[in-house]
Amino acid sequence: MTIRLTMRVNGEPCAADDVWEGESLLYVLRERLGLPGSKNACEQGECGSCTVLMGGEVVCACLVGAGQAEGADIVTVEGLGDGEQLATIQQTFVDSGAVQCGFCTPGLLITAFDLLARDPDPTDATIREALAGNLCRCTGYEKILDAVRLAATRQSSSR
Amino acid sequence: MEFFRPTTLPEACHLKSEHPGALPLCGGTDVMVDINFDRRRPEALLDLTDVRGLYEVSRYDGYVRIGAAVPYTTIIAELSAEAPGLAIASRTVGSPQIRNRGSVGGNLGSASPAGDALPPLLAVDAEVEAVSAAGTRRIPIHEFFLGPKVNALRRDELIAAVHVPVARGPQQYAKVGTRNAMVIAVCSFSLALHPDAARVGTGIGSAAPTPRAALEAEDFLADELAERWETPEPLPDDVVRRFGELVAAAASPIDDVRGTADYRRHALSVLARRTLEWTWAEHGRQERTR
């Protein structure tokens, strides 16, 4: 049995047809809505590569059933910037060299974006705790921590 | 596979009695993994996300009633004083993403021996509120776990809430794993001191077919503490060591990919000693400031 799934994604109402309710929100985003920014890696909530905001909270899109996402408000990495203008956290990832292979980056960006929205001046311990569910196998995390700190600084000076 | 999305508990109960094979789904942190990997194809999924009553926290007569769907994030933020053991354990669950979705109801439903929320519930003698179209019953947590991933729910029942006695003394939870986040416990242990009742409670995780209490260890420690509650000096080493031995002896661990049975027994005795020293020191501080 399939359904027509309607959601709000990155501020825009959207619909997908022929959705099996047991497939994951991640599959819907990538394969049905053409939003491949959220990455598919572990499919078991271990790696954080598929992290999106759902109702304003970070979740693993691979662990949300499509049927559960009906009517949900979703933000993916595609929704962080404004057209060609990168969000602050995206620009600081570039500036800090926090991107290597890039596969974990979309999930980390969403998680870091959410952290800074809730805590504009996080301690290092808070940053580490917030990012604990996002695995990166390239960077060793130091540059990622740099990027989050730099984004916090830039956001506070622009306020 | 059918997909049901009730919005009230009576409606959910009705669906569960009509479709006993329907698998309850909420945060999805266990169920969706099985679906993604094609390990499980239940005849139906019963999505409880929209049953608002399952997200309520309420208080009565010395108990906190925690709705089955209350996520770990909320437990950490709101229940650290009333259910400290559960809150400490909740902090160790997965990651922020998992804690935003996962719930104690799900942990009880999965009934994994490794469920982080389960040892603290044993240590405080919590009760599980099961609901069906036929009514509601409360199942003592010590009677809830029947085997690996098997609980005492009937096929027509859902978990509505867990009832946790408000803490009257220090509680702790500790677990062993390879890192702090995203770890399934190699073994875990929860200890609750109940000074007003001159009792202690324990819960062992990941070291037996089910989460279980260490009853002999509890009796031993309650006896040892009997004359010490009001003048809490540091405990003699032999008492602390014996408590650890009895906790380890209560486990029946296996060798698996996460660790050997011998390692688990050893680690449990260490966790038991540590949590005893932490909670007893905290009890001492509370007595002195009284």
The residues near B145 (Cβ < 8 Å, ≥ 6 apart) are B111, B118, B151, B152, B210, B211, B212
**Chain B interface test: which of A58, A74, A109 (most B C-beta within 10 Å):** A58
Q: Give per-residue pLDDT as tens, A8-58.
A: 999 999 999 999 999 999 999 999 999 999 999 999 999 999 999 999 999
Please give the average per-residue pLDDT across B22-38, as a whole number: 97
Considering the domain architecture, whether residues A9 and A62 belong to the same structural domain is answered as: yes
Here the tokens at position B107 are 């942990």
Say if residue A59 is in the same domain as residue A117: no
The arithmetic mean of pLDDT across residues B7-20, rounded, is 98
Domain identity same for A100 and A63: no
User: Among B36, B40, B41, B182, which would you mutate to test the A interface (most chain A Cβ atoms within 10 Å of its Cβ)?
Assistant: B36
Distance in angstroms (rounded) separating the CA atoms of residues B135 and B132:
5
Look at residues A20, A43, A78 and tell me which one is the last residue of a structural domain.
A78
- Do A70 and A127 lie in one domain? The reply is no
A119 in contact with chain B, both atoms CB, cutoff 8 A: no
Q: What is the mean pLDDT of residues B118-130?
A: 98
Q: Measured between CA atoms, how close is B29 to chain A, in angstroms?
A: 6
pLDDT value at residue B179: 85
* β-strands B135-140, A51-54 pairing: unpaired
Residue A13, pLDDT score: 98
**Distance from the A130 Cα atom to the nearest Cα atom in chain B, whole angstroms:** 6
Q: Is A34 within the bounds of a domain?
A: yes
CA distance A111 to B283: 38
d(CA A17, CA A33): 10
Query: ipTM of this model?
Result: 0.96
What is the distance between the alpha carbons of residues B187 and B178, in angstroms, rounded to a whole number?
Answer: 11
Q: Which residue of A has its CA nearest to B73?
A: A57
Same domain (yes/no): A112, A60: no
Per-residue model confidence as pLDDT tens digits over B212-225: 999 999 999 999 99
CATH number of domain containing A73: 3.10.20.30
- Which residue in A2, A20, A60 has the most chain B C-beta atoms within 10 A of its own C-beta, making it the best mutation to test that interface? A60
Q: Report yes or no on A125 lying in a domain.
A: yes
Q: What is the mean pLDDT of residues B26-46?
A: 96
Which of A44, A78, A112 is at the close of a domain?
A78
- Token readout for B205 is 């995780």
Q: Give yes or no for a contact between B169 and B191, defined as CB atoms under 8 angstroms apart.
A: no
Q: Closest partner residue to B3 among A57, A62, A67, by Cβ? A: A67
* A124 token code pair: 């290092």
Q: Mention every residue, 6+ apart, whose C-beta is less than 8 A from residue A112.
A: A89, A130, A131, A144, A147, A148, A151
Taking only the tens place, the pLDDT of each residue in A116-151 is: 999 999 999 999 999 999 999 999 999 999 999 999
- Taking each helix axis from N to C end, the angle separating B215-225 and B237-250, rounded to the nearest 10 degrees, works out to 160
Same domain, A72 and A92: no
Any idea what the CATH number is for the domain that residue A116 is in?
Answer: 1.10.150.120
Number of domains chain A is built from = 2
Last residue of a domain, one of A51, A78, A105: A78
Residue A132 sits at the chain B interface (C-beta within 8 Å) = yes
Q: Which amino acid is at A111?
A: T
Whether residue A43 is contained in a domain is answered as yes
Same domain flag for A29 and A11: yes
End-to-end CA distance of chain B: 59
Find out whether B122 and B211 touch, Cβ atoms under 8 Å: yes
What's the rounded mean pLDDT across residues B219-232?
96
Express each pLDDT in B236-288 by its tens digit: 999 999 999 999 999 999 999 999 999 999 999 999 999 999 999 999 999 98
Domain co-membership, A31 together with A10:
yes
SS (H, E, C) chain A: CEEEEEEEECCEEEEEEEEECCCEHHHHHHHHCCCCCCCCCCCCCCCCCCEEEECCEEEEHHHCEHHHHCCCEEECHHHCCECCECCHHHHHHHHHCCCCCCCCHHHHHHHHHHHHHHCCCCCHHHHHHHCCCCCCCCCCCHHHHHHHHHHHHHHHHCC
pLDDT at B181 over 90: no
Asked if A57 and A98 sit in the same domain, the reply is no
My answer on whether A96 and A116 are in the same domain is yes
- With respect to residue A41, please indicate whether it lies within any of the assigned structural domains: yes
pLDDT tens digits, one per residue of B47-87: 999 999 999 999 999 999 999 999 999 999 999 999 999 99
Cβ contact, residue pair A63, B27, below 8 Å = yes
Q: Identify the sign of the CA torsion A131, A65, A71, B78.
A: negative
Within-domain flag for A83: no
- Decide if pLDDT at B2 tops 80: yes
Q: Are residues A14 and A72 in the same domain?
A: yes
A125 Cβ under 8 Å from any chain B Cβ: no
CB A134 within 8 A of CB A107: yes
Q: Note whether A9 and A57 are same-domain residues.
A: yes
Domain coverage including residue A151: 88-158
Residue count of chain A:
159
| Average predicted confidence (pLDDT) for chain B | 97
Q: Record the tokens describing residue B177, joined without a space.
A: 């794993």
